[in-house]
Structure formats: structure tokens, C-alpha cells
Amino acid sequence: QKEVEQNSGPLSVPEGAIASLNCTYSDRVSQSFFWYRQYSGKSPELIMSIYSNGDKEDGRFTAQLNKASQYVSLLIRDSQPSDSATYLCAVKSRGSTLGRLYFGRGTQLTVWP
Amino acid sequence: SQTIHQWPATLVQPVGSPLSLECTVEGTSNPNLYWYRQAAGRGLQLLFYSVGIGQISSEVPQNLSASRPQDRQFILSSKKLLLSDSGFYLCAWRENRAPSYNEQFFGPGTRLTVL
């Protein structure tokens, strides 16, 4: 059973702060990692992909991957109220055919002005 | 660029009625296609996936079925809806060629309420 765990939150941060979202996964041979943002009532939107250990930055977003610890995180710098959403972590195993992803249940983030 | 469409956007159906949800992708060929369901307060559940016309794999046994009559068309069906079929149905696609970074992209979804 491949599991992806996220703290369900809600995580509440003030505007301008750094929001830190965490995700752990059980399958050691996982190879691809994704963060999706889902606004209430909308479909998930891919915001970050990371494939190797270390940090990957894209604007205000930084994804961090540590395969040894089976841990991936998403940092949102200078958080804005528009960042308020549920963030889904998704993982693809190396042995997974056809691009099957395993999703966490998501962390709800609220950024208050 | 690629675009994914789903319809209808919302649907209210009585228990026992049939269902047909449609998904189409533009701007790519031979994509991998996926149907997910997101029930209230729950995570994404993979229902079906397809690697080509007529090729369907099911993840969870249930009263739903899927078909892929054309390369970029994916249909989710049911002969008789249950109350437990209510949820947010999402279609997703992924490039089916190397190099593939396994990124999946979601359509806008169909919100189904079974009464």
C-alpha cells in the first residue's frame, strides 16, 4: 500500500509570512513528486514538480525533496490571501506504470490579511 | 497548447438513474487519461485509467464504467446511480511519450449530486 500523508490543517498564516506544507510518503522507490493547489469548488492545478533531492524554486514557491527521509515540502514565501487553498501532494512510484499518482488528502491553508 | 474539457459542469440526478460524463483533450495525441472522484472531505480516488482507444483499467470495483471511443475522449458511465456516487468527478491527462515527466493535468470537473 503506497501512502502519502499530509497534515490536514488548517494551517493559518498572516499575509507576508512563509507557509510551510509537508508531505511524507511510504514507497521508497518513489521518483516523481508534485504539488497541486485546489481552490474551493475548483479542480486541482499543478504548481510544482520535483524529481531530485534538494530545492526547486519557482517564484514564491520552493519545493524541497529529501528521498532518504521520504519527505517533500512546499514553502510559500510572502504568502498572500490568494494563496488560501488546499494543497495536495502527489507521488509517482518508479514501479508505477502508466503514470499512476498517489495523492495525499491535502492541507488547507488560510492566509489572513 | 493542451486543453481539457469536461461536461456537464454540474449534475443532479435521482438514485437509480443513468450517468454519462464526458472528457475531451485538445492539443495532444494518444494521451493517458484518468478518471478520479473526490468525495466531500475525502482525497482523490482513482477510478479508471486508459492508455489508448478501447483500453480501460479499473482501480476500484463499483457500479461505474469507463470507455474511450476516440483517442482524446474519455467517458464515465453508470447504469444506476447510488447515493454514494455523489462527488466531484475529475478527468486528467498525461503525455504518453518520452520524455514523460509524469505530470497530470486536471479538467474543470463535474460536480454530481445524487438524490
- The nearest CA of chain B is from the CA of A42 a distance in Å of 7
Per-residue pLDDT, B78: 96
* pLDDT, tens only, B58-83: 887 678 999 999 999 999 999 999 99
* CA distances for A37 relative to B7, B37, B82, B102, angstroms: 22, 17, 30, 17
Q: Residues of B near A (CB-CB distance < 8 A)?
A: 32, 42-44, 46, 49, 51, 57, 88, 90, 94, 100-109, 111
* pLDDT, tens only, A2-21: 789 998 789 999 999 999 99
* pLDDT, tens only, A68-87: 999 999 999 999 999 999 99
CB B60 within 8 A of CB B114: no
CB B70 within 8 A of CB B58: no
Radius of gyration of chain A (CA): 14
CB pairs under 8 A between A and B: 49
